[in-house]
Amino acid sequence: KRVAILISGGGSNMVSLVQDMTGDHPARPVLVCANNPDAGGLAKARQLHIPTFAVDHKSYGKDRQGFEAALQAALQKARPDIICLAGFMRILSAEFVAAWEGRMLNIHPSLLPKYKGLNTHARALEAGDAVHGCTVHEVTADLDDGPILGQARLPVRPDDTAASLAARLLPLEHQLYPQVLRRFAAGDRRQVTLGA
């Protein structure tokens, strides 16, 4: 299976996915794509010898359609079987998602269905949750809403801040996403459950 990974920032989740796709893994990375040319993850992808593509969403202004057409063109050339959104911070239109429905995954830093959208760690702290975590799900037209493929949990500490919680959660994301992708690429839809 051919995997394209979409990033916006440092790409630590992308690195975890790429480093796991070796040996008998049913998938291989074929493209890392960023919505901004300065994404730190692009340099990491180059170091990992993965083809990269950057489409600067800022150069399209309000023209979301133009941005997505450029993204779609790059993806069509790479012919991925699976797209992994990994720290990808753009909302994709229903049309774009429909073109990849059933083949696009995302990692979200909350225990969905709780805390869709942004600022998930602060919202979990605000709510006084004892447990927080991350979720890998299939992407559908509704934001952070598709079928859940895996979750990782961790206890919230009394002295946690949004930053400390995010920092403790990131390594769990790096464990969860590769395990979910292995199953998904092998056609195994059993959920992955990690942690507390």
Name the DSSP letter for residue 81.
S
H or E stretch at 18: helix 12-20
Residues in contact with ligand GRF, shown as a per-residue x/- string from 32 to 61 under the rule CB under 6 A: ---------x--------------------
Task: Give the C-alpha separation, 98 to 64, whole Å.
Answer: 16
Comparing every residue's Cβ against ligand GRF, the nearest one is: 87
151 binds ligand GRF (CB under 6 A): no
Task: Give the C-alpha separation, 130 to 158, whole Å.
Answer: 9
- 132 annotated active-site: no
Q: Applying CB under 6 A, which of residues 29, 80, 109, 150 lies at the interface with ligand GRF?
A: 109
13 binds ligand GRF (CB under 6 A): yes
Residues in contact with ligand GRF, shown as a per-residue x/- string from 155 to 174 under the rule CB under 6 A: -----------x---x--x-
Cite the annotated binding site for (6R)-10-formyltetrahydrofolate by residue number.
64, 89-92, 106
Q: How far is the CB of 7 from ligand GRF (least distance, A)?
A: 6
Task: Give the C-alpha separation, 144 to 186, whole Å.
Answer: 23
Q: Residue 3 contacts by C-beta under 8 Å, 6 or more apart in sequence?
A: 17, 21, 27, 28, 29, 30, 80, 81, 82, 83, 84, 181, 185
Burial class (CB in 10 A: 0-12, 13-18, 19+), 22: exposed
Q: What share of the chain is helix, strand, coil (3-state, %, to 5)?
A: 40, 25, 40
Q: Applying CB under 6 A, which of residues 4, 5, 6, 11 lies at the interface with ligand GRF?
A: 11
87 binds ligand GRF (CB under 6 A): yes
Q: Applying CB under 6 A, which of residues 107, 154, 172, 192 lies at the interface with ligand GRF?
A: 107
Active site residues: 108
Which positions lie near ligand GRF, rule CB under 6 A? 7, 9-14, 41, 86-87, 107, 109, 166, 170, 173
